[in-house]
């Protein structure tokens, strides 16, 4: 399935039904008076979060959503039927903005959460509303009001508690495939991962925590270089970041500094978020490198370094214990 995390759509609420001009006409009632009914209300447009959806792909093929109009009033003071609400389902984690003003209208996170995005027009009044002592046979009635119309920017930000970040080919996809049941594409070349992958990792308590594998970042990602700019938004909601550094890289320290620079340039509090520094691919390092590299990384970046191998399982249990500790989960 194609992963789409941004979409632009147009929504239009229904128009209210018109009121009518009518008079009561019955046998033995020569002056029945006005009886025109009111129009029904136009349908609202509502966005609803749906946990069964993972992408905004549906909006690539349909971009105009219009609710039904209300029905016109009837004789004998009959009110026209109001239109049904148009419910548009979006993935949990979707931000909704007005495309014109860029104002944030809502953020749909929980399954079933709804946001009324466009209100239907009110129905018009029938001539029965204008009966008065002065005018016993009014012919005045009003038309229904137009419904609201908006152009929207939808932006999906994945709901994951832990984000895996690193340069391309740092071992993020291999790690998430070992820790969870996720099966991302894995190969020994950069940019194998082109879309975010989610995996559920079992906690000590038995329930699951969602990990997100973000496509590799490169220098300039925050300004739009490579794939990073498109996907950095998906770690905005994470509570903990796992910063993977490829131990087999020609210069792991420079790699780590590049990624920290990108997190700082992107902003939104990513650099201040709890972050675990992890040296990956330990199976490719000799004894001397295993001793020197972690110490050099720790001294340069000023934080402890975990050494892991997703292939052999080295250090994974300790890494998970640190993650649970940061999340406040009892291990």
Q: How far apart are the first and last CA of the chain?
A: 36
pLDDT on residue 226: 46
Cα 81 vs. chain centroid, distance in angstroms?
34
The yes-or-no answer to whether 6-156 and 162-327 have a common fold is no
Cα 180 vs. chain centroid, distance in angstroms?
23
Q: Residue 153 forms beta bridges with which residues?
A: 8, 97
Say if CB 46 and CB 85 are below 8 A apart. yes
Q: Give the residue-averaged pLDDT of 273-280.
A: 91
CATH architecture of the domain formed by 6-156? Distorted Sandwich (2.70)
Q: Both tokens of residue 149?
A: 């119309």
298-312: pLDDT as tens digits: 998 899 999 999 888
What are the strands of the beta sheet with 114-118, ordered from one edge? 86-91, 45-50, 114-118
pTM equals 0.70
CATH class of 162-327: alpha beta
Q: Give the residue-averaged pLDDT of 88-104.
A: 92
List strand residue ranges (DSSP E) for the chain, in order: 6-12, 45-50, 64-66, 86-91, 94-98, 104-108, 114-118, 149-156, 162-165, 197-202, 208-213, 240-246, 275-280, 305-307
pLDDT on residue 29: 67
Listed by start position, the domains of the chain span 6-156, 162-327
């Amino acid at each position: 399935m194609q992963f789409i995390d941004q979409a632009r759509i147009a929504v239009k609420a229904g128009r209210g039904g018109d009121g009518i001009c009518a008079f009561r006409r019955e046998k033995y009632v020569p002056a029945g008076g006005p009886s025109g009914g009111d129009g029904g209300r136009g349908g609202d447009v509502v966005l609803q979060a749906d946990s069964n959806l993972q992408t905004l792909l549906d909006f690539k093929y349909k971009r105009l959503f219009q609710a039904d109009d209300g029905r016109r009033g009837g004789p004998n003071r009959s009110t026209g039927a109001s239109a049904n609400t148009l419910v548009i389902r979006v993935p949990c984690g979707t931000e909704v903005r007005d495309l014109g003003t860029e104002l944030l209208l809502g953020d749909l996170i929980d399954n079933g959460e709804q946001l009324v995005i466009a209100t239907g027009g009110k129905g018009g009044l029938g001539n029965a509303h204008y009966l008065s002592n002065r005018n016993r046979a009014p012919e005045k009635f009003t038309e229904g009001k137009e419904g609201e119309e908006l152009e929207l920017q939808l932006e999906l930000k994945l709901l994951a508690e832990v984000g895996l970040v690193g340069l391309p080919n740092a071992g993020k996809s291999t790690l998430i495939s070992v820790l969870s049941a996720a099966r991302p594409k894995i190969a020994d070349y950069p940019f194998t991962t082109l879309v975010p992958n989610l995996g559920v990792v079992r906690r000590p308590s038995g329930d699951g925590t969602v990990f997100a594998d973000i496509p590799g970042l490169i220098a300039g990602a925050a300004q739009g270089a490579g794939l990073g700019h498109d996907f950095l938004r998906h770690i905005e909601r994470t509570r903990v970041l796992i910063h993977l550094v490829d131990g087999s890289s020609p210069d792991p320290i420079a790699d780590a500094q590049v990624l920290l620079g990108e997190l700082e340039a992107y902003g939104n509090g990513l650099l201040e978020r709890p972050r675990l520094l992890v040296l990956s691919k330990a199976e490719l390092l000799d004894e001397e490198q295993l001793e020197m590299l972690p110490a050099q990384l720790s001294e340069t970046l000023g934080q402890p370094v975990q050494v892991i191998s997703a292939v052999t399982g080295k250090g994974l249990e300790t890494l998970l214990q640190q993650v649970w500790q940061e999340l406040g989960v009892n291990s």
